Copies of this chain bind each other. A is one copy, B any other.
Amino acid sequence: MTVTLLAFAASLRTSSLNRRLLHAAVEIARQKGAQVDVAEFHEFDMPLYDGDLQVREGIPVGAQELARRLQAADGLLLASPEYNFSIPGTLKNAIDWLSRIRPLPFKGKSALLLSTSTGLVGGNRGLWVLRVPLEMLGMHVYPDMYSLASGDKAMDPGGFPVDAAARLRLEAVIGGYLDTAVRLHG
């Protein structure tokens, strides 16, 4: 069975460290046999959530597109920055819009969460906040996550960790997730 994944980094910045890390993760996932749909967060542009706007105009096109791409996949490979020790407002806003779509696009899907930052915590606190709405919406968020400290120095231009042990661990986390995804979605 081939696992199909949607992959994106939850950052709008062109030079995002999380996008670089995501691209390495995508390459590893493909080498391990996954079929990956790589998206840009900009493809899912949507307004700030407003219940009145939803009544007037329905679900925005960008949210529908994210829901469609997620529905078409078994799981999600998501690299997210940490803003103020928490989830980025931009990413939470996307989750809030998608939570209004039925059937719930997250339900029964799996996810592997990655992060990096220039600091020593590598964005790990933000990922734990991110797990809550994803799990509440029915996602099987893989227990293990990958957070890379000092991402501005610790990655090569392709996003691969330069430290051998850090790279092996990234490969192991992705391998472990894909094994689980085969079981969950096979």
Contact = CB atoms under 8 A, between A and B. Distances in A.
A12 B48 contact: yes
Interface string A129-140: 101111111111
Interface stretch (A26-34, A66-74, A79-87, A155-163): A79-87
A142 B137 CA distance: 12
Contact of A139 (B90, B92, B128, B143): B143
A132 B124 contact: no
Interface residues of A, number: 52
Given A85-B132, A88-B96, A52 B143 contact: no
A89 B48 contact: yes
A87 B92 contact: yes
Contact of A121 (B11, B120, B133): B120
A86 B63 CA distance: 19
A168 interface: no
Contact of A143 (B48, B53, B92, B141): B141
Contacts of A141: 135, 143
A59 interface: no
A186 to B, nearest CB: 7
Interface of A: 11-14, 16, 45, 48-53, 83-96, 99, 120-122, 124-125, 128-129, 131-141, 143-144, 149, 180, 183-184, 186
Given A48-B48, A140-B143, 15 more contacts: A45-B48, A48-B89, A48-B90, A49-B83, A84-B136, A84-B137, A86-B136, A87-B87, A120-B122, A121-B121, A125-B128, A129-B132, A131-B135, A139-B143, A183-B184
